[in-house]
Structure 1
Amino acid sequence: MAITHEDPTTLVLIETRGSVRIITINRPHKRNCVNGPTARALYQAFLDFETDSTASVAVLTGAGGNFSAGADLAAIQNQDDANPLSSDWPDTLPGPIGPMGPTRMTLSKPVIAAISGFAVAGGLELALWCDIRIVDTTAILGVFCRLRGVPLIDGGTIRLPDVVGRGVAMDLMLTGRAVKAQEALRIKLATCYPSSYETVSETNALEQAVALAETLAKHPQICMRGDRLSTHFSRPIREAMLKEFELGMESLTSGEFMQSIAQFFAKKETARL
Structure 2
Amino acid sequence: MALTLGRISINNSFRRAIRHMSVNSTKGQRFYSTISKEEKTSANAGGTVISERRGTVMIIGINRPEARNAVNQETAQRLTEELSAFDQDNSLNVAVIYGVGGNFCAGFDLKELSQTSGSLIMEQDVRHVPGPMGPSRMRLSKPLIAAVSGYAVAGGLELALLADMRVVEESSIMGVFCRRFGVPLIDGGTVRLPQLIGLSRALDLILTGRPVKAQEALTFGLANRVVPDGQALQEALELAEQVSAFPQLCLRADRNSAYHAVFDSSSFTQAMQYEFDNGLPVIGAEAVTGATKFSLGAGRGGTFSKSKL
- TM-score bracket, shorter-length normalisation: 0.7 to 0.9
- Report 1:33-52 matches (<5 A): 33-52=70-89
Determine if contact 2:94/2:240 at 8 Å carries over to the other structure: yes
Structure with more of its chain in strand, by fraction: 2
Residue type of the partner of 2:170? T
Give the distance between the partners of 2:206 and 2:185, measured in 1 at CA: 9
Determine if contact 2:154/2:176 at 8 Å carries over to the other structure: yes
Aligned to 1:209: 236
Identity of aligned residues (%): 51
Determine if contact 1:61/1:67 at 8 Å carries over to the other structure: yes
Aligned to 2:54: 17
Question: How far is 1:153 from its partner?
Answer: 1.1
Question: How far is 1:44 from its partner?
Answer: 0.2
Which digits, 9 at most, give the CA deviation of each residue in 1:22-81, with x for residues without a partner?
0000000000000111100000000110111111100010000000000001112455xx
Residue type of the partner of 2:239? L
- Report 1:63-74 matches (<5 A): 63-74=100-111
Give the distance between the partners of 2:230 and 2:115, measured in 1 at CA: 39
Residue type of the partner of 1:62? G
Determine if contact 1:61/1:113 at 8 Å carries over to the other structure: yes
Determine if contact 1:39/1:83 at 8 Å carries over to the other structure: no
- Report 1:183-198 matches (<5 A): 183-192=216-225
Aligned to 2:154: 121
Q: Report runs of 4+ in structure 1 exceeding 6 Å deviation.
A: none
The answer to whether 1:105 aligns with 2:138 is: yes
TM-score when normalising by structure 1: 0.75
SS at match of 2:101: helix
One of 121, 125, 144 as aligned partner of 1:88: 125
Residue type of the partner of 2:244? A
Unaligned runs of 5+ in 2: 1-41, 265-309
Question: How far is 1:183 from its partner?
Answer: 1.0
One of 58, 66, 86 as aligned partner of 1:29: 66
The answer to whether 1:76 aligns with 2:113 is: yes
Give the distance between the partners of 1:213 and 1:84, measured in 2 at CA: 37
Which digits, 9 at most, give the CA deviation of each residue in 1:175-209, with x for residues without a partner?
111111111111111021xxxxxx65456110110
Shift of the 84–113 alpha-carbon distance from structure 1 to 2, 3 Å rule, reads farther
Shift of the 84–71 alpha-carbon distance from structure 1 to 2, 3 Å rule, reads farther
Shift of the 83–214 alpha-carbon distance from structure 1 to 2, 3 Å rule, reads farther
- Report 1:114-153 matches (<5 A): 114-153=147-186
Aligned to 2:92: 55
Corresponding pairs, count: 219
Residue type of the partner of 2:237? V
Determine if contact 2:171/2:229 at 8 Å carries over to the other structure: no
Question: How far is 1:119 from its partner?
Answer: 0.2
SS at match of 1:103: helix
Give the distance between the partners of 2:55 and 2:121, measured in 1 at CA: 32
Give the distance between the partners of 1:10 and 1:55, measured in 2 at CA: 22
Determine if contact 2:195/2:262 at 8 Å carries over to the other structure: no
One of 176, 179, 185 as aligned partner of 2:212: 179
Give the distance between the partners of 1:119 and 1:58, measured in 2 at CA: 18
Give the distance between the partners of 2:227 and 2:62, measured in 1 at CA: 24
Determine if contact 1:36/1:84 at 8 Å carries over to the other structure: no
Aligned to 1:223: 250
Question: How far is 1:229 from its partner?
Answer: 1.1
Residue type of the partner of 1:225? R
Give the distance between the partners of 2:206 and 2:234, measured in 1 at CA: 30
SS at match of 2:61: strand
